[in-house]
Amino acid sequence: MQDRGWWLGAALSGAVVVIAGAFGAHALEGQLAPRLAAAFETGVRYQAWHTLALLAVLAWRASHPLAGQRLAMALWAAGMALFAGSLYAMALSGATGLGMVTPVGGVLMIGGWLALAGAILRAR
């Protein structure tokens, strides 16, 4: 199966989204300051959208592989890890210094979208 590792990674990311969403909605309800709860929820939301984007590009790659699609996926994966991961860790630990990592993850996710746009523009 082409891109098996990417499919597996997207599936595991989807599982983490559901687990984190449920954990945030139930186990953390009323346990976090509103700002930290909002940060946790933002991490879940961005990870969910980028997991769906990964799945869409993987499905697209199956019939129309383009140079740049893998770069976009790699940037999204790294961005999700840093963006959502830092928000999850910050919310759970209260270590606000982790918030310095979050924008790096955001820039990587933006880079993924730009890499995808570049792949589309270069396609014939």
Q: Mean pLDDT, to the nearest integer, of 42-71?
A: 96
Distance CA 106, CA 50 (A): 11
CB atoms within 10 A of CB 58: 17
Q: What is the pLDDT of residue 82?
A: 97
Distance CA 74, CA 19 (A): 23
Give the global pTM. Answer: 0.94
Work out whether the CA dihedral 19, 20, 23, 29 comes out positive or negative.
negative
**Tens digits of residue pLDDT in 86-116:** 999 999 998 888 889 999 999 999 999 999 9
- What Rg do the C-alpha atoms of the chain give, in angstroms? 16
Query: What residues make up the domain containing 9?
Result: 4-122
**Tens digits of residue pLDDT in 65-77:** 999 999 999 999 9
Number of domains in the chain: 1
